[in-house]
Structure 1
Amino acid sequence: MRYAICFTPPPGDPLTLAAAGWLGRNVYSGHAVDHPGLKGIGVHEIAFHTALPRRFGFHATFKAPFRLNEGANEAMLLRELMHFAGSLEPVTLSGLSVGRVGEVYGLILERPCSAIDHLAAAVVQAFDGYRAPLSEAEIERRNPERLSAPQFSNLNRWGHPYVMDEFRFHMTLTGPLLARDFPRIEQGLKAHFDPVLAEPVVVANLALFVETERGAPFTVHSLHPLGRVSSRKIA
């Protein structure tokens, strides 16, 4: 069993439903979802390009997948996550849009957001005590020889290269693509996602994701609202 602490919108959110259609799987139920009919992209091609992110589901990673340390259990993790989420306030993401990071497309921020960077770093730090040390095989899967010095340091200290100053908020929507396919896939993604990104996206919860066994699809175990209960009731 592995856990991850992420952001994903609530089950009925239009963005959640759009992402479930694009990826072909609902991250809450785990059920398959039909891909959309988009001009210039066949459903079989969408299925091919979304095979990698489909297993992980629609999310932005804060605390990358980890096994529980000795002495920790799921009940402890849930209790800590509930209290932690209640101590922080929601973050509004302005300018979330379809974009490319290297060979992969996803939803990215058009400009830096210090509040989301702070939230991600706080999650990494607060829950590192629950994380079992990486095995040699897990370290090798990260291709350490390709990492920069700060990324390698993060891998050894926090169990993941892309945290702290190396963190960039993103919600992955494709696997690696060929350059010749960039314009066509980007056009399809924007046609599908732009309507549900017209309004700012609010990070109003932390989601605990679970992988029941190595290689199994990740699903949402539970949502933990950000902000004090009294403040949420007033809002």
Structure 2
Amino acid sequence: MTPHRLALYWAPEEDDPLHARGSAWLGRDAATGQALPQPPLPGIDIAEATADPRGYGLHATLKPPFRLANGYGAARGAVAALAARLAPFDMPPLAVHDLDGFLALRETEPCPPLHALADACVEAIDAHRAPPSEDEIARRRPERLSEAQRDHLMRWGYPYVFGEWRFHVTLTRRLKPEEKAAILPAVTAHLGETPGVPRRVAAISIFVQPEPGAPFTIAERLPLRG
């Protein structure tokens, strides 16, 4: 059955401690689909503060969610062909950052291969993306976007690609300053040293949303074989 939407993400491997700790922070394991108990956070509704990223699973976006034009098999074949020609590479250490009011894991130094991977994912599978509806475009509020972002939205279905792309593993919704003051040290302590350990980017993860409003889960991890 063709899922409602598909996305290409980087996600830590299931044996990476970051997968366990990050999934527990969000309250859901995107590999199994299971709900997880979240760490207590006095005075803060952690379930509410993490509700948006929980639905998407622990990840960094490479190709943002889109509806399929040609079915899952055709799109999967394009991703497999891309993965076959790309080589694994080392990721810089990650750390928790404030990204425009959201808390997210970001790389601690530039990583050109990571950016090149995202660019390749956007292009390689785009023929299998159904065009966004007028409502989907309107939800991006194009009037608030830069000219480059509007161009990307109309050409690629998403404004934050290529030069506008930033690697980030989202951990919260947008926070008020007083919320950030409580949550930033809490999530940093919860994740501990796991974000900063060495790791390889060795696969593209296909996440799927089976129906509108449903959470995303990992369908496949396609290894980089170049």
Relative to the length of structure 1, the TM-score reads: 0.91
Equivalences for residues 1-235 of structure 1 within 5 A: 1-37=4-40, 41-42=41-42, 45-69=45-69, 72-228=70-226
Question: In structure 1, what is the Cα distance between the partners aligned to 2:124 and 2:43?
Answer: 41
Question: In structure 1, what is the Cα distance between the partners aligned to 2:46 and 2:200?
Answer: 27
Give the deviation of 1:200 after TM superposition.
Answer: 2.2
Give the deviation of 1:138 after TM superposition.
Answer: 0.5
Q: Is the 8 A contact 1:25 1:31 kept in 2?
A: yes
Give the deviation of 1:176 after TM superposition.
Answer: 1.0
The size of the alignment, in residue pairs, is 223
- C-alpha RMSD of matched pairs (Å): 1.4
Question: In structure 2, what is the Cα distance between the partners aligned to 1:82 and 1:118?
Answer: 17
Question: In structure 1, what is the Cα distance between the partners aligned to 2:142 and 2:198?
Answer: 36
Q: Provide the secondary structure at the position in 2 that maps to 1:145.
A: helix
Give the deviation of 1:43 after TM superposition.
Answer: 8.9
Q: Is the 8 A contact 2:93 2:196 kept in 1?
A: no
Question: In structure 1, what is the Cα distance between the partners aligned to 2:74 and 2:118?
Answer: 20
Question: In structure 2, what is the Cα distance between the partners aligned to 1:223 and 1:175?
Answer: 26
Q: Is the 8 A contact 1:96 1:201 kept in 2?
A: no
The alignment-based identity, stated in percent, is 39
Q: 1:16 to 1:190 in 2, by over 3 A?
A: same
Question: In structure 2, what is the Cα distance between the partners aligned to 1:208 and 1:52?
Answer: 19
Question: In structure 2, what is the Cα distance between the partners aligned to 1:206 and 1:43?
Answer: 38
Q: Is the 8 A contact 1:36 1:43 kept in 2?
A: no
Counterpart residue type for residue 162 of structure 2? M
Q: 1:63 to 1:156 in 2, by over 3 A?
A: same
Deviations along 1:38-69, one digit per CA (max 9) or x if unpaired, are: xxx23962112101111011111111111112
Question: In structure 2, what is the Cα distance between the partners aligned to 1:114 and 1:82?
Answer: 22
Relative to the length of structure 2, the TM-score reads: 0.94
Deviations along 1:82-119, one digit per CA (max 9) or x if unpaired, are: 22112101232213111111110010122322111111
Deviations along 1:194-232, one digit per CA (max 9) or x if unpaired, are: 32123123221101111111111000111101124xxxx
**Unpaired runs of 5+ in structure 2?**
none
